Amino acid sequence: MSAASPLPTLSRGSRGLMLEGVALADVAARFGTPVYVYSRAALIAAFEAYRHALGERPASVCYAVKANANLGVLSVFAALGAGFDIVSGGELARVLAAGGRADRVVFSGTGKSRAEMRQALLAGIRCFNVESAGELERLDETAASLGVTAPIALRVNPDVDPGTHPYISTGLKHNKFGVASTDAAALYRRAAALPHLRIRGIACHIGSQLLDAGPIVEAAGKLLALADLLAAEGIHFEHIDLGGGLGIRYRDEAPPTVAAYLAPLLGLFEGRSEELCFEPGRSLTGNAGLLLTRIEYLKPGEEKHFVIVDAAMNDFIRPALYDGWHGIAPVVARTGPPRRYDVVGPVCESGDFLARDRDLAVEEGDLLALLSAGAYGMSMSSNYNSRPRAAEIIVDGDEVHLVRERETVESLYALERPLPRG
Ligand code: LLP
């Protein structure tokens, strides 16, 4: 593709757009549209960038499953030895089904149920990132009932502004996440006194789509100050988990490279013995995937012209929910003069748009690729308007793997029952 593509393994050849060695037109012909297409090589390259930047330092990269929870994607990371950051029992089950190791799993989230705690304790996860005093007590009780000890870190809310969209900033005082740094020391003392907990570390996650390292360096400084304070009391951490959050380029953003993002943190941790953990999601999968969709209609209007495609907000909600901007690339380029369009779907909402005000030379039946859709795409999709969810594909060189079949309409109501008549 042009230099403007943020997807490293996307290119334009004589048969139109290619992801690795696979023509997107062939994927659409074989599997239909809409379809998510991910590049194995791009997933691996993104993971290796972390590993390379961390070098010899004791560190672990726990992929945030929520970004893209497909078993195929998880299996690529599991094969690389990744850890996983989960937020539900469902995500834990997926990790294990994909071949991930329980002892590399960290469990974040504000509302862990007793059942989820039991499931994770029996699986033998690495660490619970505990987000409240109530959760700490419940985890101790649950571990006691199973006769085991729960490994814990407190997720501390460091009250720093990540400078990102308000819906995806999580480390400010008014956010629901984590425990206040002012309460953390007392809670660690409480944890140390509870017989069925074992303190492993400390954690934070300040937000997503971060475009510079400043806020995370500030947060890390606060965590280290707490670590030193508690060490003086005999409470020691084996690891410090700085969460996820590194941003990616969707349009013209200039996020730091993984190496540049990690460099000041590595500097801060120099000479310290704690293992460093990260929980990246978007930066591992976002630019490894796209959503392929076909144009159903061109609908010219008085004020606006619309391209109506077969993907919709139920397939991909980032534009509607966060005003997310995603590149739109025709799979086969046409030479005609472009026209300015909104790219919209068939769902009955004005918020059902994938892109606005794009200059495109397109015809009915053409394929479009919605770029940078590998993170928070399929994982946030729904069946709104009784639309079966898209298929998912991973390409690997010139091989194509179907990693999720397109849903059937019958499966959408398979769990439902009409009331008996009369
Ligand atoms: N760790 C925790 C505890 C998290 O809550 C998150 C994301 C991550 C790690 C991964 O963050 P990442 O590296 O992907 O920034 N749906 C939104 C993003 C929500 C992020 C939620 N938490 C979007 O589409 O932009």
Q: What is the DSSP string of 274-334?
A: SEEEE--SHHHHGGGEEEEEEEEEEE--SS-EEEEES--TTT--HHHHH-----EEESS--
Query: In the predicted model, is pLDDT for residue 185 greater than 60?
Result: yes
Q: How far apart are CA 417 and CA 410, in angstroms?
A: 12
Model confidence at 166, in pLDDT bands (50, 70, 90)? low
Using most ligand atoms within 8 A of CB, pick from 63, 112, 208 the residue to mutate for ligand 1: 208
Query: In the predicted model, is pLDDT for residue 167 greater than 70?
Result: no
With DSSP H G I counted as helix, E B as strand and the rest as coil, what are the percentages for the chain, rounded to 5?
35, 25, 40
243 lines ligand 1 (CB under 6 A): yes
Query: In the predicted model, is pLDDT for residue 3 greater than 60?
Result: no
Q: Write the pLDDT tens digit of every residue in 136-148.
A: 999 999 999 999 9
Query: In the predicted model, is pLDDT for residue 174 greater than 80?
Result: no
pLDDT at position 337: 95
As a whole number, mean pLDDT of residues 13-36 equals 98
Dihedral sign of CA atoms 307, 313, 317, 320 in order: positive
Using most ligand atoms within 8 A of CB, pick from 282, 321, 326, 378 the residue to mutate for ligand 1: 282
Q: Are 361 and 267 in contact (CB under 8 A)?
A: no
For 91, the 3-state DSSP assignment is helix
Q: How far apart are CA 278 and CA 82, in angstroms?
A: 11
Name the percent of the chain lying above pLDDT 90.
93
Q: How far apart are CA 14 and CA 60, in angstroms?
A: 42
pLDDT at position 94: 98
Return the amino acid letter for 120.
A
For 381, the 3-state DSSP assignment is coil
Q: How far apart are CA 422 and CA 419, in angstroms?
A: 9
- Residue 348 annotated among the catalytic residues of the structure: yes
Q: How far apart are CA 111 and CA 47, in angstroms?
A: 29
As a whole number, mean pLDDT of residues 91-120 equals 98
Query: In the predicted model, is pLDDT for residue 184 greater than 60?
Result: yes
Model confidence at 40, in pLDDT bands (50, 70, 90)? very high
Closest residue (by CA) to atom 23 of ligand 1?
A: 376
Q: Are 27 and 406 in contact (CB under 8 A)?
A: no
Q: Which tokens in the block code for residue 178? A: 């984590």
As a whole number, mean pLDDT of residues 103-129 equals 98
Q: Are 265 and 223 in contact (CB under 8 A)?
A: no
Q: Write the pLDDT tens digit of every residue in 247-285.
A: 999 999 999 999 999 999 999 999 999 999 999 999 999
pTM of the model: 0.97
Closest residue (by CA) to atom 6 of ligand 1?
A: 244
108 lines ligand 1 (CB under 6 A): yes
Q: What are the CA-CA distances from residue 244 to residues 50, 132, 213, 294, 364 (Å)?
A: 12, 20, 12, 33, 40
Q: Write the pLDDT tens digit of every residue in 41-85.
A: 999 999 999 999 999 999 999 999 999 999 999 999 999 999 999
Query: In the predicted model, is pLDDT for residue 4 greater than 70?
Result: no
| Domain assignments of the chain as residue spans, ordered by start | 10-39+286-412, 108-280
pLDDT at position 361: 98
Of 157-161, 168-172, 263-267, least confident by mean pLDDT is: 168-172
For ligand 1, the distance from its centroid to the CA atom of residue 236, given in whole angstroms, is: 28
The 8-class DSSP code of residue 63 comes to E
Query: In the predicted model, is pLDDT for residue 1 greater than 50?
Result: no
pLDDT at position 175: 73
Q: Does domain 10-39+286-412 have CATH number 2.40.37.10?
A: yes
As a whole number, mean pLDDT of residues 27-54 equals 98
* Mean of per-residue pLDDT scores for the chain: 95
Second CATH level (architecture) for the domain 108-280:
Alpha-Beta Barrel (3.20)
Q: Write the pLDDT tens digit of every residue in 278-322.
A: 999 999 999 999 999 999 999 999 999 999 999 999 999 999 999
- Classify burial at 416, counting beta carbons within 10 Å of its beta carbon; exposed 0-12, middle 13-18, buried 19 or more: exposed
For ligand 1, the distance from its centroid to the CA atom of residue 285, given in whole angstroms, is: 12
Q: Are 53 and 262 in contact (CB under 8 A)?
A: yes
Closest ligand 1 atom to residue 376 Cα is 24
Return the amino acid letter for 7.
L
* H or E element at residue 126: none
Name the percent of the chain lying above pLDDT 70.
96
As a whole number, mean pLDDT of residues 374-396 equals 98
Q: How far apart are CA 365 and CA 346, in angstroms?
A: 15
Full DSSP string of 194-250: STTEEEEEEE---BSSB-SSHHHHHHHHHHHHHHHHHHTTT---SEEE----B---S
